[in-house]
Structure 1
Amino acid sequence: MQENFNIRLVCIYGDPYHVRTNDIWADVLDFVLLDDSPLFCMGDLNELLDGTEKLSCHAPNFNRISSFRNIIHNCGLIDLGYNGPAYTWTNRRFSSNPTFQRLDRCLANATWCNNFPNTNIYHLPIIYGDHAPILAIPLSNCVKRKRNFKFENW
């Protein structure tokens, strides 16, 4: 890893009503494509990347999930995963219809992943409000385990 270089940080608050989502991500795409320096993106994106990121009596919107996956792919971003609780948001209706979702996340480009391969993301417990704080440690001493790829031909 080289000692002196620029990094770019993108902090996003996604549209909770999903009206301006495409506009927000068009701006992000313009910024992402400026150069190939390490880029770290985090925030309350207000979108799911997978149906398993929602626990509720209401089904996730799979059209929005597909669209969000395409946006992330077009921006060349990678979800950095997490340690800790699976969900980062709750509607706090614990006695009636509780909903839990992973709306907050950290993404990065390949250059970030190459320069900061031990970046660790932690979802902290939801104590105040309805979102979990996220702690990102780019220069962690904890080395990520490489997961073995397994394929079974059915």
Structure 2
Amino acid sequence: MEKIKQKIKFTSGFTVECEGEGRRRRWGLALLWKNELTVAVKSFSLNHIDVGVGSQGNDEWRFTSVYGHPEDENKYKTGVLLESLKGSDDKPWLFGGDFNLMLHSGEKIGGRSFCVEEAEILRNAMSYYHFEDLGFIGHSYMWTNNRGGEENIQERLDRFFANQLWRERCSWARFLLISLREGRIIYLSYCVLKKLCQSKRKKSCIVLEKCGSVMKTVLRLFRRLGNEEGTYVRKLHLLLLV
């Protein structure tokens, strides 16, 4: 991760190391930032990183990145994690990642029936923290099993929430989803846009190009490091402020 941080010109970072070896490696989280921000890690686990974020002239806000348990029998643990993160309610809070959970049946195509019990895990967290789903610009389904016809399954598992204080502070924010596909793997990049004006197509294209360029650089490094160190990336999230 240190090589990646240097290549994309980020100055600081925090990493939660993977478990296992070679192709059996799993989990692993990383948060990178530049010197303009002051970041203090509050807590972390194999499934989350929780930080306070400050910048010159602005009050601190909170960012929590989550990777939910993918196994059906362990999804309740994601709910336990979400509830355990409760802290002070007096700060703007952005909360997002791959929860491996959906909110409603419209976020799923194909496969087994939509599971209301699993959806309640995420719904309860939203209610508990008074979060609002911030939505996104891009394709509606971020995960697919890459099969054709009736066997195809697509789901929306990735999202960002925020409390009212963060929404008021960052009312300009728009989340743009960019996906790159390599074989059976889809890499996702979230760009937090200060503005996305359809009438200014040139500016929008510059933003897309910037996000895509950083993403491709990271992917090239991951492929090279994977060959050298036995690291295999199944999913990559980038959250860029542009």
Q: Are the structure 2 counterparts of residues 80 and 131 from structure 1 closer, same or farther at C-alpha, using a change threshold of 3 Å?
A: farther
Aligned position for 1:119: 173
Aligned position for 1:70: 124
Q: CA contact under 8 A between 2:142 and 2:157: conserved in structure 1?
A: yes
Q: Deviations over 1:56-86 (max 9, x none)?
A: 1432112222342122211221110011100
Aligned position for 1:39: 93
Ranges in structure 1 where 5+ consecutive residues have no aligned partner? 144-154
Identity of aligned residues (%): 23
Offset, 1:9: 1.1
Name which of structure 1's ranges 20-29 and 101-110 shifts more when overlaid on structure 2.
Answer: 20-29
TM-score, normalised with respect to structure 2: 0.52
The equivalent position to 1:99 in structure 2, one of 149, 153, 160, is 153
2:59 equivalent to 1:12: no
Name the SS of the counterpart of 1:43 in structure 2: strand
Higher relative contact order (CA 8 A, sep 6+): 1
| Bigger strand fraction | 2
State the alpha-carbon separation in 1 of the partners of residues 81 and 150 from structure 2.
38
Aligned position for 2:192: 137
Name the SS of the counterpart of 1:35 in structure 2: coil
Offset, 1:19: 3.7
Aligned residues: 141
Q: Are the structure 2 counterparts of residues 3 and 141 from structure 1 closer, same or farther at C-alpha, using a change threshold of 3 Å?
A: farther
Ranges in structure 2 where 5+ consecutive residues have no aligned partner? 1-55, 198-242
Name the SS of the counterpart of 2:60 in structure 1: coil
Aligned position for 1:150: none
Q: Are the structure 2 counterparts of residues 67 and 42 from structure 1 closer, same or farther at C-alpha, using a change threshold of 3 Å?
A: closer
Supply the RMSD in Å over aligned alpha carbons: 2.3
Offset, 1:131: 4.2
TM-score, normalised with respect to structure 1: 0.78
Q: CA contact under 8 A between 2:131 and 2:163: conserved in structure 1?
A: yes
Name the SS of the counterpart of 1:73 in structure 2: helix
